[in-house]
A = this chain, B = another copy of it.
């Protein structure tokens, strides 16, 4: 029987709130077994860019990662946030290492092919080094992954943390019974974006198709849900979307939205 692996993406709203982050990390530290935390960046990178007078270009609502911005996100995500999390976890009896995708060639990507928009130094994931990662997990180490990857030719690339979590889950699902959790600021996938009580407890491929057809899924959720179904299609056991503060209830299926193939 496969061992369980928890892969948990923690969003910016928790990263930005010291009290919430400590509580979340205490929960993560206490979670037994194999586990990977993927963190986003929060507002610190934007604040740093402002303070350093590096103008942030937005195109179609997406940030362009120029060379200066790449330097800042590498510093903030892989440096300050990642190492602060590790120091906290070690103090909470959770042996752990913090990595970027460059470390051990853990996550290799290519610079996003320029279509109409040049996003700059942004990577789309090509490969996950599952041997290396499972080796670390089997040594009893929790992994904390910053959303920075590399192209194998010396270039670091800014990479979406949701996608990294999905790619890790997909690549490791052959070896582990993999549970992927996207934690964010809402209670789950909501029918009414204004009503935190309108959580959809279960989404399956057929209900997803129907919800989309009826226009009842908030547009901002669609990339997360598409990631979720991509993970399930490649063998991930279950995907959960919900509030970071409710980690154990999410994993127990008592809160949040569970997405599965209706097995």
Contacts and interface: CB of A to CB of B under 8 A. Distances in A.
Interface of A: 48, 51-52, 71, 74-80, 82-84, 86-88, 90-92, 95-100, 102-105, 132, 135, 139, 141, 148, 150, 152-156
Nearest to A85: B102
B86 A100 contact: yes
A84 B74 contact: yes
B104 A141 contact: yes
20 contacts: A71-B80, A74-B80, A75-B75, A75-B79, A78-B82, A79-B82, A79-B83, A83-B100, A83-B156, A86-B100, A86-B102, A88-B154, A90-B105, A90-B150, A90-B154, A95-B104, A96-B104, A97-B97, A97-B99, A97-B104
A78 B95 CA distance: 18
Contact of A154 (B91, B132, B155): B91
A39 to B, nearest CB: 13
Contacts of A95: 104-105
Nearest to A77: B79
Nearest to A54: B51
A24 B146 CA distance: 27
A46 B48 CA distance: 15
Contacts of A78: 78-80, 82-83
